[in-house]
Amino acid sequence: MAFFLLVPIVVMTLIYYALLEDEKAKLGVVTRGVARFYEYPLVSVIEEDEDIEIVSLDIPDKETDPAELDRLIMEEMKKGKAHGILYMDQQLLSERFAGERGAIHIYLEGSRPTSTAAIFSSIAEAMDDLTETMPVVIDAECSAKCANSVNIKAIEIKKHYLYGSEDYRLIDYFLPVFPTFFVFFFTFIISTITFQRERVRGTLERLLIAPVSFSQIILGYISGFIIFSSVQALIIIGYILALIQISFTPHQLFALGVTLFLIMIVALTMGLLASFMAMNEFQAIQFIPLVILPQIFLSDMIWRIESFPLVFQWISYGLPLTHANIISRKVMLQNQSLWENWPQLLSLGGFFLFFMLVMSLVALKRNKNN
Amino acid sequence: MMLKIEGLTKRFGKLTAIDNLNLNIPEGLKFGLLGPNGSGKTTLLRMITGLIEPTHGKITLFGKWTPTSRMIRRRVGYMPQQTAVYPGLTVSENIRFFGRIYGLSGRPLEDRLNDILELVELGDKKKEVLSNLSGGMVRRVLLATALIHNPPLLILDEPTAGVDPVLRLKFWDWVDLLVKQGVSIIITTHHISEAERSDQVVFLREGKIIQQGKPFDIMKRFQANNLEAAFVRSTNLK
């Protein structure tokens, strides 16, 4: 009965904060040479955009080498300091004066489509103002006749992606978390209901009387679920590969396979624990929305976790699916290796051990009371 | 001695389900455990099978093993009161599954499977999914799964519950046959009249033994024509 009251309140609270999402895209601005004069007016226009937050960067002002600046800018984005960095170099004005379009460079982290879109939109708006402030072209050979000629060519925007590319779509951002979610979802539900049925039907007791240990029973379940989850994961990944624009290496597929295995065994132990805590199948079913729904909202699956209040962000890190999604996205979208995500791997291992321990204690207590 | 119980007590909070029970059961017998609902029959069986631990006391099986010993688990077959088989599997799949759990495989498993199916008269139903079978047939499958590993001790918890009279008689015929083959059987039942076919019976009430002995001796003691009447008279005395 408590679940009937609790679940709607939990879900409505999460929906409320999810739709309040006000996370801003972080944009850094780097200017060199004469272009520095245009930094302030440009930033003033961009700052009016509610979806953008101008951030400061750790790039030395004296650094002017284009190759080194390129490297430093990418580093800043890798560290998470900015989702995008606007770079105007000293060539811009001289190119404009020469009647060329001139170019500004937008560096994009690239794995967050909403941030990318917000940055583009804001810069495009600011570009109109910037173009108007650009100097008039003076054609030395034209003199008086050309005195009022104006370079009205649009400034070229050169895009540089840390991850992904221009073809990157919004769906590409969401696809990597589908395998982890579906494996977790189905493993949890099936293990909860199946184990509850084993207990109610009495087949679990028969197994406990037989010459097999409880850990062997659990291992048996894990083996069965590995087969089931593997087939499921193959289907999902195969389908994603057909839909997603990003190509994968065998290394990435291996990393995803390890992640799916870990989230599967975590979901299995959670499901077994839920089935032990439930007195009947009706109660067991109520665990499903209580466990699944918060993870849909708070595991960074659809809504950015940074857009939730701080307490929800802490809760997010206490959810196994959050860590699996982090690994999945970083491996598939940022081409990170599995071992670069060792904190998340460790967390998933920790969740498995934790739920196994709690389940053993609950089972032991129930055994004593029975 | 097949089963020796000394000073066995089981409490669930304030409720005493089994109260300082002492019992010896020799090998090779049909042993009836009788009593009304809540008398402690199932609790006693669950302690004998090692599913729950006693609060006090000791249970020894075959002279040397405790119920939770791995050695004893291979020697005990348990037919629970619930329909503890898999309705989505066929008859033979269910029996094979439990056979493998008990370490059987290959040819020995298949031979034993066929023998068991012949015993419980389900040879023609081996490929039927359990959910398509009647309740009586499912009880037979349950018995088969308890026998697949050829246990020297068979514990039957209300084996004839919900079963028609014809099948009830058949069950006792199978019990007789198994005892002749050397299996010791502990059987609980609500149908006290059926228990007259046991070699020895124990009457349980509120966790205590109120009568014990051969059915005929108990009937004679209470000058009753049947065991049911003897049970009623014995409970009225206490």
Instruction: List, for residues B29-41, the tens digit of each pLDDT value.
Output: 999 999 888 889 9
Q: How confident is the model at residue A18 (pLDDT cuts 50, 70, 90)?
A: confident
| Residues in chain B closer than 8 A to A367 (CB atoms) | 51-53
Best residue of B51, B66, B93 to probe chain A, by most A CBs closer than 10 Å = B51
10 Å CB burial of residue A131 (0-12, 13-18, 19+) is: middle
Sort out which chain A residues have CB atoms less than 8 A from B70's CB and list them. Answer: 211
Of all residues in chain B, the one with the smallest CA distance to A369 is: B12
User: Chain A partners of B102 at a C-beta cutoff of 8 Å?
Assistant: 210-211
What tokens appear for A33 in the block? Answer: 């040479």
Q: Are strands B76-79 and B153-157 parallel, antiparallel or unpaired?
A: parallel
Q: Is the pLDDT of residue B151 over 90?
A: yes
Q: Please name the residue of chain A whose CA is at the shortest distance from the CA of residue B53.
A: A368
Q: What pLDDT is stored for residue A150 in this prediction?
A: 57
Higher pLDDT, A66 or B124: B124
pLDDT at B232 over 90: no
Q: What pLDDT does A305 receive? A: 82
- Provide mean pLDDT across the span A238-251: 76
Q: B149, B111 in Cβ contact below 8 A?
A: no
Measured over all CA atoms, what is the biggest interatomic distance in chain B, rounded to whole angstroms? 56
- Name which of A80-84, A107-111, A149-153 the model is least confident about: A149-153
ipTM for the predicted complex comes to 0.86
* Predicted pLDDT of residue A1: 61
Backbone angles phi, psi at A212, to 5 degrees: -130, 145
The shortest C-alpha distance from A198 to chain B (Å) reads: 8
Kindly tell me the burial class for residue B204, based on how many C-beta atoms sit within 10 Å of its own C-beta (0-12, 13-18, 19 or more). Answer: buried
CB A282 within 8 A of CB A200: no
**CB interface of B with A, residues 82-101, below 8 Å:** 82-86, 98, 101
Q: Which amino acid is at A64?
A: T
pLDDT at A300: 86
Over residues A322-337, mean pLDDT: 90
Query: Most B CBs within 10 Å: which of A203, A221, A223, as the mutation test of the B interface?
Result: A203
Average confidence (pLDDT) over A203-229: 85
What gap in Å lies between CA A99 and CA B135, rounded to an integer? 92
Q: Which of A135-139, A263-267, A273-277 has the highest mean pLDDT?
A: A263-267
Is B85's CB within 8 Å of A203's CB?
yes
Q: Which pLDDT does position A224 carry in this prediction?
A: 86
- Residue A141 in this model has a pLDDT that exceeds 70: no
Answer yes or no: is pLDDT of A144 > 60. no
Least confident range from A168-182, B12-26, B49-63: namely A168-182
Kindly list the distances between the CA atom of residue A111 and the CA atoms of A53, A246, A343, B126, B192, in Å, as whole numbers in the listed order: 18, 11, 20, 57, 74
pLDDT, residue A367, reads 62
How many Cβ contacts (< 8 angstroms) between chains A and B?
Answer: 46
pLDDT at A17: 79
Mean pLDDT of B225-233: 86
Q: What does pLDDT average to over chain A?
A: 84
* Residue A7, pLDDT score: 74
Q: Which of B94-103, B148-157, B226-235 has the lowest mean pLDDT?
A: B226-235
- Residue B65 is given by DSSP the state B
Interface test mutation site (partner A, options B82, B105, B130, max chain A beta carbons within 10 A): B82
Best B101, B102, B141, B155 residue to mutate vs chain A (most A CBs within 10 Å): B101
Neighboring chain A residues of B101 at a CB cutoff of 8 Å: 207, 210-212
The type of residue at A59 is I
* Mean pLDDT rounded to a whole number for chain B: 91
Q: Do residue A209 and residue B85 have CB atoms under 8 angstroms apart?
A: no
Position A341 confidence tier, pLDDT thresholds 50, 70, 90: very high
pLDDT exceeds cutoff 70 at B182 = yes
Buried b (16+ CB within 10 A) or exposed e, A169-193: eeebbebbbbbbbbbbbbbbbbbbb
Closest by Cα among A113, A115, A112, A111 to A52: A115
Query: What span, in angstroms and rounded, lies between the C-alpha atoms of B218 and B170?
Result: 25
Of the residues A200, A205, A206, A365, the best mutation for testing chain B's interface (the one with the most B CB atoms within 10 Å of its CB) is A206
From A126-135, A284-293, B65-74, B182-191, the region with the lowest mean pLDDT: A126-135
* pLDDT attached to residue A92: 81
For residue B164, the distance in angstroms to the closest alpha carbon of chain A comes to 22
Contact B51 A203 (CB under 8 A): no
Higher pLDDT residue, A64 or B22? B22
Distance between alpha carbon A123 and the CA centroid of its chain, in Å? 24
- B150 touches A at CB < 8 Å: no
Note whether A210 contacts B102, CB cutoff 8 Å. yes
- In this prediction, residue A71 carries a pLDDT of 92
pLDDT of residue B45: 92
Tell me the pLDDT tens digit for each residue of A178-206. Answer: 889 999 999 999 889 888 888 888 898 89
Query: pLDDT above 90 covers what percent of chain A?
Result: 22
Q: What does each C-alpha distance from B63 to A93, A313, B104, B152 come to in angstroms?
A: 100, 61, 25, 13
- B78-97 per-position pLDDT tens digit: 999 889 999 999 999 999 99
> Residues of B numbered 157-216 whose beta carbons fall under 8 angstroms of chain A's beta carbons: which are they?
none
With cut-offs at 50, 70 and 90, classify the pLDDT of residue A234: confident
Residue A152 has pLDDT above 90, yes or no: no
Q: Looking at chain B, which runs of residues are DSSP E strands?
A: 3-12, 15-25, 30-34, 56-61, 76-79, 153-157, 184-189, 200-205, 208-213
Whether residues B80 and A205 touch (CB distance < 8 A) is answered with: yes
Q: Please give the pLDDT value at position A173.
A: 82
% of chain B beyond a pLDDT of 70: 99
Which H or E run includes B219? helix B215-221
Residue B80 in contact with partner chain A when CB distance is under 8 A: yes
pLDDT of residue A230 exceeding 80: yes
- Cβ–Cβ < 8 Å for A235, A155: no
3-state secondary structure of B32: strand
User: Residues of B with CB below 8 A from A206's CB?
Assistant: 78, 80, 84, 98, 145
- DSSP assignment of A176-217: THHHHHHHHHHHHHHHHHHHHHHHHHTHHHHHHHTT--HHHH
CA distance, residue B13 to nearest chain A CA (Å): 8
At residue A21 the predicted structure's pLDDT band, cuts being 50, 70 and 90, is low
**Structure token digits, residue B135:** 């309740």
Of B51, B83, B101, the CB nearest to A205: B51
Question: Chain A within 8 Å of B11 (Cβ-Cβ)?
Answer: no
Per the CB < 8 A criterion, the answer to whether B67 and B50 are in contact is: yes
Q: How does residue A87 score in pLDDT terms, banded at 50, 70 and 90? A: very high
Per-residue pLDDT at A198: 87
Q: How far off is chain A from B81, nearest CA to CA, in Å?
A: 9
B73 Cα to chain A: minimum distance (Å): 5
As a three-state string, the secondary structure of B147-206 is: HCCCCCEEEEECCCCCCCHHHHHHHHHHHHHHHHCCCEEEEEECCCCHHHHCCEEEEEEC
Say how far residue A86 (Cα) sits from the centre of its chain. Answer: 23
Chain B residues 24-53 within an 8 A CB cutoff of chain A: 46, 49-53
